[in-house]
Amino acid sequence: MCSRIEEISAGRSKITPYAEGEIASGFDPAYCVRDGAVDMLYQGAYPMYGISGPAALLAGTSGYPAGATPRDYQAWWYYGDGLEMANKVYDGWGEVIGGWCMTTELFCHSNVRIETADDLKGLKFRTFGLWAEILETFGASVVTLPGGEIYQAAERGVIDAFEYCPPATNWPMGFHEITKYVGVPGIHSPAQPILYIANYDSWAKLPDDLKMLLKAEIQKGAMDIYMLLSYEDAVAMQKYVDYGTEIVTVSDELQQEIARRSREWTDNQAAEDPLFKEIYDNLQPFISTVHEQEKVVPGYSIFD
């Protein structure tokens, strides 16, 4: 995207990307964009949870059990009020100008079959965030570890199961070498939304035509990355099958119970937090309408 913007703008706009840790840690970047250390930030909203409260989770974060899908988020951002709602969360921190949505995570890698609620009891499960809160209500023992420590922890038996990312990200990590099972679907994290937030002063100084170009390229990139990752995830799933990893489908009953507990948590937050309620009251009917389209999509194909 950075290269395309430079080319299309004839060199008027040059964006230099920095990896996590080069300027700030993964949980501090909001301060960098607010204070002007960077002109623009690309992050999930979870780090804002501790700053803005749970409303940040609705604005766009992974790990929201039974939450919005990539299609839901991208429709809400670009054809609903999603970006306006996100700007309420980031008020005073930066201007939300767009978002991308990565694909659904695997439910887990594990050395224990996980199909029912009973299978979660006493399980040492690596995760964090809202899913950790809900998982503990099933009797699991949550272990929070950074991604770089997961392989060794699973290999040594420190954890029985873990969630990390979608298939195409997990496969190169080699998790299939030290676990027997892959759980699907990713009911705990249907989407990985990531927002683009610009520093207010930097954004104000940008000419209007470059503002339009940047927003358009972000929106185009949202579709590009989703289509690419969807295909790469499918390729990775076949690699798991070929390797001999057993793919285990979480029961409908467990998925429904996860959704029920997540909805209960959501309703409680809406009752206590006016901003959370405002965003949820906007998001819920929009996505409910989007889901009506699924009724016209056929369930059978010559390609299956």
- Do residues 195 and 77 lie in contact, with contact meaning Cβ atoms separated by under 8 Å? no
- Do residues 195 and 89 lie in contact, with contact meaning Cβ atoms separated by under 8 Å? no
Q: Walk across the sheet containing 161-162 and list its strands.
A: 141-143, 124-126, 161-162, 108-110, 181-184, 246-249
Structural domain contains residue 268: no
Would you state the structure tokens that stand for residue 304, as one six-digit string?
A: 């299956």
The residue among 42, 61, 39 whose CA lies nearest residue 198 is 39
**CATH number of domain containing 11:** 3.40.190.170
Same domain, residue pair 68 and 201:
yes
Same domain, residue pair 180 and 195:
no
**CATH number of domain containing 152:** 3.40.190.10
Residue 113: which domain range?
108-184
Structural domain contains residue 53: yes
pTM of the full predicted structure? 0.93
Would you state the structure tokens that stand for residue 140, as one six-digit string?
A: 């699991």
The residue among 187, 193, 203, 209 whose CA lies nearest residue 263 is 187
Structural domain contains residue 256: no
Total domains, the chain: 2
**From first to last of its 304 residues, what are the pLDDT tens digits of the chain?**
999 999 999 999 999 999 878 887 666 678 889 999 999 998 887 778 778 889 999 988 888 999 999 999 999 999 999 999 999 999 999 999 999 999 999 999 999 999 999 999 999 999 988 999 999 999 999 999 988 899 999 999 999 999 999 999 999 999 999 999 999 999 999 999 999 999 999 999 999 999 999 999 999 999 999 999 999 999 999 999 999 999 999 999 999 999 999 999 999 999 999 999 999 999 999 999 999 999 999 999 999 8
Same domain, residue pair 86 and 210:
yes
Read off the DSSP letter of residue 63: -
Structural domain contains residue 67: yes
Same domain, residue pair 46 and 178:
no
Tokens 């940047």 belong to residue: 214
The residue among 2, 85, 127 whose CA lies nearest residue 282 is 85
Instruction: Please tell me whether residue 10 adopts helix, strand or coil conformation.
Output: coil
Q: Walk across the sheet containing 95-102 and list its strands.
A: 40-43, 192-198, 95-102
Cα–Cα distance for residue pair 169/199, rounded to 1 Å = 30
Same domain, residue pair 96 and 195:
yes
Structural domain contains residue 45: yes
Same domain, residue pair 94 and 206:
yes
Domain boundary among 136, 154, 184: 184
